[in-house]
Structure 1
Amino acid sequence: MSGLVNAVVICAVAVLVIARQFRARRISADRRWWIVPAVLAFMALRGPGVIDPHHEDAASFLLGAELLIGLAIGAGWGWTTRIWTEPDGVAWSKSTKAAGAIWTAGICLRLGLFGIGALLGVRQDSSALLLGLAATLLVRSGFVAWRAQSLQPTPNGQGPEYGDGVALARLKERV
């Protein structure tokens, strides 16, 4: 039953997080952005099924790869999230199409890892996927909070966006 519960939690959290991130959301000033990833990590580590005892080396490699993929997805997702401030100084965020592409690539990579584990005969529990999701959310939330701290509202009422002031490369026109 634990594997079924983990699978339901993974799907529910992924759907909830993805759906919420593609709408404009206020970035709260509180420092509790790490709670959901911490709960997910606790749920993943509460049982003994994180590493297959019969294939410890391969299972450890797959778990490490899952965590690296999770960290990379979180960083990419946090980097591609649009962040801006309103005239009242409130920071907002919204994921972009590039973030959707990063999620899609991450899901494909995770499916590939699952396939490699199946070919090697490694028993894979949902705990590794839950840990990877926790790493993704932790890095993304921390990255967005860090980026949002650098934004300050301007007196003219037009809030800046992250990256304002960076010179854009000009494309040459061809006749």
Structure 2
Amino acid sequence: MPGLMNTVVILAVAAVVITRQFTAQRIASDRRWWLVPAFLAVLALREPGVIDPHHQIEASLLLGAELVTAVAIGAGWAWTTRIWAEPDGAVWSRSTKAGAAVWAAGICLRLGLFGIGTLLDVHQNSSALMLGLAATLLVRSGLLNRRAQSLRPTVTSHSPTYGDGVGRVLRKERL
């Protein structure tokens, strides 16, 4: 049953993420962009069958390849996403056709990895796919937030207040 639940979670998250990427989304400046990927990683790592115990080396190599692919997809997706800043300072993003091509290439690579695992007779759990999805979302969100910070206006000028430009004299208090 956990495999079925993982598959449902993977499909639901992927469907929400893919459909939302083609509509304009405001990039929030909060520090919780890593929460969903962390939740997915915890769900993936709670399962004991991430690595096939009968083919540990092959399974570890496939998991490593999955994670490298996931990081590449996340980076490609983040760099092909269009971001812009509104006059009020809000930063928005929307995926492009190149982002869809990155997703398609990623799905093909993941299918290829699954095929290699099948040829090597390695038992493949859905947890590896969920861990890869978490890595993809983590990299994409991190890079988008980094790109968004460069677009947000910085406050360099402010109205003068009482005491601006006056040096402070610090005195030692005596009792």
TM range (shorter): 0.7 to 0.9
CA displacement at 1:47 relative to structure 2 = 1.2
Question: Is the 1:10–1:130 Cα contact (8 Å) retained in structure 2?
Answer: yes
Residue 152 of structure 1: CA displacement? Answer: 3.5
Is residue 44–residue 128 contact of structure 1 (8 Å, CA) maintained in 2? yes
Residue 95 of structure 1 corresponds to 95
**How far 1:153 moved relative to its partner?**
5.0
User: 1:88 touches 1:153 (CA, 8 Å); kept in 2?
Assistant: no
Alpha-carbon displacement from aligned partner over 1:61-92 (angstroms, at most 9, x marks no partner): 00000000000000000001100011111000
Counting only pairs closer than 5 Å after superposition, residues 1-175 of structure 1 correspond to structure 2 as 1-153=1-153
Structure 1 unaligned blocks of 5 or more: 155-175
**2: CA distance, partners of 1:55 / 1:49:** 12
TM-score (norm 2): 0.86
Measured in 2, the distance between the counterparts of 1:61 and 1:153 equals 44
Secondary structure of the structure 1 residue equivalent to 2:87: coil
Mark the structure with the bigger radius of gyration.
Answer: 2
CA distance in 2, matches of 1:78, 1:47: 29
8 A contact 1:86–1:153 mirrored in 2 = no
Aligned-residue RMSD, C-alpha: 1.0
Between the aligned residues of both structures, percent identity stands at: 72
CA contact (8 A) 1:26 1:92 kept: yes
Give the drift of 1:4: 0.2
Q: Which amino acid aligns with 1:78?
A: A
User: Displacement of 1:21 after TM fit?
Assistant: 1.1
Amino acid aligned to 1:9: V
The gaps in structure 2 that reach 5 residues or longer are 155-175
Which residue type is aligned with residue 118 of structure 1? T
Amino acid at match of 1:6: N
Give every structure 1 segment of 4 or more consecutive aligned residues whose post-TM-superposition deviation is greater than 3 Å. none
Instruction: Letter of the 1:145 partner, please give it.
Output: N
Query: What is the SS of the residue equivalent to 2:151?
Result: coil
Q: Tell me if the contact between 1:21 and 1:94 (Cα under 8 Å) persists in the aligned partners.
A: yes
TM-score, scaled relative to structure 1: 0.86
Q: Do 1:33 and 1:142's aligned partners in 2 also have CA atoms closer than 8 Å?
A: yes
| Distance in 2, Cα, partners of 1:153 & 1:24 | 20
Matching residue's letter, 1:12: A
Q: Is the 8 A contact 1:77 1:99 kept in 2?
A: yes
Pairs aligned (count): 154
